[in-house]
Amino acid sequence: MSRLFWLAAGLLAYAQAGYPLLLAALSRGRGRPQAPQAPGAAALPDVSFIVAAYNEADVIAAKVADAFALDYPRERLEVIVSVDGATDDTAERARAAGADVVLENPRAGKVRAQDAAVREARGAILAFSDANARWEPGALRALVTAFADPQVGYACGRVTFVAPDGATNEEGLYWRYEMWLRGMESGLSSVTAGNGAIYATRRESYLEVDPIMGHDLSFPFNMVKRGWRAVDVPEARATEKMVPTVEGEFARKRRMMSHGWPIVLLGGLADPRGYPPRYALMVLSHRLLRYGAPFLHVVALLNARRWALGANLAVLGAAAAGGRAGRAGVVARYYVLTQASVALGLWDWFRHGTEAGWEAAEGTR
């Protein structure tokens, strides 16, 4: 029993603290990778800027205007809004805002709306964003510059979550930690996941994946298996509204993990074939152990000594108290609900499968 406790506790400690320290040690002395030289205006490739949208009438006009405000030659930029069976006037508002192409697709989910846009796109580079994300003016040029390296097939930028007044969600703190890890992974090999707010691929590296398997998790490792690199571009920045409460964030993560588990178990993430050794270690450490953490917590709890059992119960008590226990209680509640969302996402997928379509989290538009 004691051995099981120490094994589970050791794996949890490695996933949360040991792996970042390992990355930092491997990165020491390497310096920041030299960014490719930005091409001049005449050498910039044609880019198709793709926004998949479902019932985004409130924000789609601002999103199209945001795309046109990017520091990129207008004649080399194509803005495509691919509407996923909306029941509001998203398509009409996108056309009125001046989008170059507006596609009206039957409801089939975000991924299929993106696939439809790619088939219509003329750009050599395909840039993707969410309807509620706002890109900084230089973000697209920064993403495009990454493709000056012929090995790069996927490039993701960095999103900053903007919290409304009174927000109790700790996602911003967690996300800064994730961005730090992602930057080190990119410098050493390739990133193990991206985000849907700001990323791009080459046309020839784009993949059509199962509609329940979002690009965020399925693209980077698949790129690596096909001989491409998947890189982080910190100069490409965007902002997005944060889910206001930790309970809302729990619901969002639970939905995300119902899409993530099929990628892990059926989509090839957990299959090491095709991974270089260093990248295989990154996937094991940052993805598989992280997703296995809720179950490791259960093993540790069931096999805990008295002192460890008391520590676990103290964390659970702080999580239950939440804000009443101060900042520590808020952080504990965020951590516990995040772990629960991973396990419940798996339960949801096993119990009734995962729908390709989804609704935007409340408060993020």
**Which residues does 125 contact at the CB level (< 8 Å), separation at least 6?**
45, 46, 47, 48, 143, 144, 147, 200, 201, 202, 203
Choose the weakest-confidence range: 1-15, 60-74, 276-290: 1-15
Written as one string, the DSSP assignment of 265-292 is HTSSTT--TT--HHHHHHIIIIIIHHHH
Residue 71 has pLDDT above 90, yes or no: yes
C-alpha 91/C-alpha 74 separation (Å) is 22
Mean pLDDT of 10-19: 95
Answer yes or no: do 145 and 199 share one domain: yes
In a domain, 163, yes or no: yes
Q: How does pLDDT run across 123-138, given as a tens digit for each residue?
A: 999 999 999 999 999 9
How many Cα atoms sit within 13 Å of 276 on the Cβ side?
A: 13
Number of domains in the chain: 2
Answer yes or no: do 91 and 198 share one domain: yes
Under a CB-based contact definition with an 8 Å cutoff, are residues 188 and 278 in contact? yes
CATH number at residue 99: 3.90.550.10
Answer yes or no: do 195 and 331 share one domain: no
C-alpha distances out from residue 249 to 89, 141, 243, Å: 28, 31, 6
Answer yes or no: do 12 and 116 share one domain: no
In a domain, 29, yes or no: no
Per DSSP, 300 falls in state H
Answer yes or no: do 128 and 47 share one domain: yes
In a domain, 33, yes or no: no
The band of 120, judged by pLDDT with boundaries at 50, 70 and 90, is: very high
The band of 2, judged by pLDDT with boundaries at 50, 70 and 90, is: confident
Answer yes or no: do 227 and 322 share one domain: no
Mean pLDDT computed over every residue of the chain = 89
Q: How does pLDDT run across 201-213, given as a tens digit for each residue?
A: 999 999 999 999 9
Per DSSP, 158 falls in state E
Helical segments of the chain, H only: 2-13, 19-27, 60-68, 90-97, 110-120, 139-146, 171-188, 215-225, 246-265, 277-282, 289-302, 306-321, 326-352
pLDDT at 161 (0 to 100): 85
Answer yes or no: do 225 and 282 share one domain: no
The band of 146, judged by pLDDT with boundaries at 50, 70 and 90, is: very high
Tokens of 183: 């930057």
Answer yes or no: do 286 and 205 share one domain: no
pLDDT at 33 (0 to 100): 58
Q: Which domain holds residue 199?
A: 41-244
In a domain, 259, yes or no: no
Comparing 303 with 17, the larger pLDDT belongs to 17
Answer yes or no: do 99 and 169 share one domain: yes
Residue 323 has pLDDT above 80, yes or no: no
Answer yes or no: do 197 and 107 share one domain: yes
In a domain, 28, yes or no: no
CA 1 to chain centre: 37
Answer yes or no: do 239 and 275 share one domain: no
C-alpha 207/C-alpha 115 separation (Å) is 9
- Quick count: other Cβ atoms within 10 Å of Cβ 234? 14
Mean pLDDT of 144-165: 91
**pTM for this model (two decimals):** 0.90
Q: How does pLDDT run across 242-277, given as a tens digit for each residue?
A: 887 888 888 999 999 999 999 999 999 999 999 999
Helix (H, G, I), strand (E, B) or coil at 15: helix
In a domain, 252, yes or no: no
In a domain, 140, yes or no: yes
Answer yes or no: do 240 and 272 share one domain: no
pLDDT at 72 (0 to 100): 96
In a domain, 16, yes or no: yes
C-alpha 63/C-alpha 130 separation (Å) is 9
Comparing 152 with 298, the larger pLDDT belongs to 152
Enumerate the β-bridge partners of residue 84. Answer: 105
C-alpha 197/C-alpha 216 separation (Å) is 9
- Quick count: other Cβ atoms within 10 Å of Cβ 160? 16
Written as one string, the DSSP assignment of 82-136 is EEES-SSSHHHHHHHHT-SEEEEE-S--HHHHHHHHHHH---SEEEEE-TT-EE-
Q: How does pLDDT run across 282-314, given as a tens digit for each residue?
A: 999 999 999 999 999 999 888 877 666 666 666
